[in-house]
Amino acid sequence: MSKSVSCLLGRKASTSNGGQRISFHILYHIHTIWLFTVGDLRTTCLQTVLFGLSGAASGRFTTPTRTDGLHPAAGAVALIGSLPQVFLFVWLLLLVSQLSNQSAVGAPEEDALNKPYRPIPAGRISQRQVRQRLMPPAILVALLLSFVLDVHWEAAVFIVLIYVYHDLGGADVPIARQLLNGAALALLGEGALKLAVYPSGGTVNSEGYAWTCGVGLVVATTVQTQDFRDQEGDAARGRRTLPLVVGDAPARWCTIASMLLWAMLVPWLCGAGIVGYLSSVFTAGIAVVSLAASRTPRADEQSCKLWSVWIANIYIMSCLSLLC
């Protein structure tokens, strides 16, 4: 009797340990996937979600499709309710982008020096496994979800641009690098805007599409702010970024001029009034001073963060017009 009880307890313990191991492996791989995107959650992901929600909240970029109207309170609830699908859409495409970026030729070696916490240099997964086991299902899930949510065009073109950027050498051609970055972020923003307005019974109008293109142009002409901090690593990998091609000083002053121009032009185009002008010029001014005053990698890292704050301000500019 005691022997049978011992066997039974042994089987239960073995089953329990097996279940724990399975749970551990599942959580381990989920955490690995999360680590691919965690570095861009507060920048690209959050900013794009805010872009979609603020554009929908402004009411300027949508055409109502409901004939019975929608109570303001119900509209607010619908806007908040769109948050999960907006975030999921943006995060999935961000995941595809980062899987491609971090598994590109030479990327793991560079990350081992600059960002050793990333999954590949940390030894959580190999470069080959990312390309063969993670990227195909990630792309498939992103495309299927975007088809269900009716933002398949934005998702498909975004994935093509990511392929051109990371695998066909687009990242190594200065002008193409700028345009691909701007176009990709414009597509993310367009999809987020569409998903934010759908629940309230609306569609994006021509002004909304023009707004997303305009924001993409702002990004395309200022995104080289990110390249100043990485000049040593980019030179080692043979990349041809704007600071390396035209020189640090010309690229820096060109970026400063672009930021100041857009800081004054965007609020005027959005009709954001004094609130928009003050917030845009203030955030751009801090970033510009930082970019001009110090030219060390550490200072350029700070300038990049300040540029990101200014871009976030541009993203919500349409909503600031409501305060006028």
Q: How is 69-112 classified by DSSP, letter by letter? A: ---HHHHHHHHHHTHHHHHHHHHHHHHHHHHHHHTSTTHHHHHH
Residues 178 and 109: their CA atoms lie apart, in Å, by: 24
In CATH terms, is domain 41-205 a member of 1.10.3720.10?
Answer: no
Kindly report, residue by residue over 107-142, the tens digit of the pLDDT.
888 788 778 888 998 888 899 999 998 999 999 999
**Does the pLDDT at position 2 exceed 60?**
no
**Does the pLDDT at position 77 exceed 70?**
no
pLDDT at residue 123, as a whole number: 87
Would you give the end-to-end CA distance of the chain in angstroms?
Answer: 83
What six digits make up the tokens of 29?
């791989």
Mean pLDDT of the chain: 84
pLDDT at residue 73, as a whole number: 43
**Does the pLDDT at position 287 exceed 90?**
yes
pLDDT at residue 174, as a whole number: 79
pLDDT, mean of residues 139-148:
94
CB atoms within 10 A of CB 27: 10
What is the SS3 assignment for 201? Answer: coil
**Does the pLDDT at position 278 exceed 70?**
yes
pLDDT, mean of residues 69-90:
72
What six digits make up the tokens of 317?
């500019």
Residues 94 and 88: their CA atoms lie apart, in Å, by: 10
pLDDT at residue 6, as a whole number: 53
**Does the pLDDT at position 8 exceed 50?**
no
Q: How far is CA 170 from the centre of its chain?
A: 18
pLDDT at residue 98, as a whole number: 94
Residue 241 near residue 250, CB atoms below 8 Å: no
Please tell me whether the overall predicted TM-score, pTM, comes out greater than 0.75 for this model. yes
**Does the pLDDT at position 71 exceed 80?**
no
pLDDT at residue 9, as a whole number: 47
Better-predicted residue by pLDDT, 176 or 22: 176
* All structural domains of the chain with their residue ranges: 41-205, 242-324
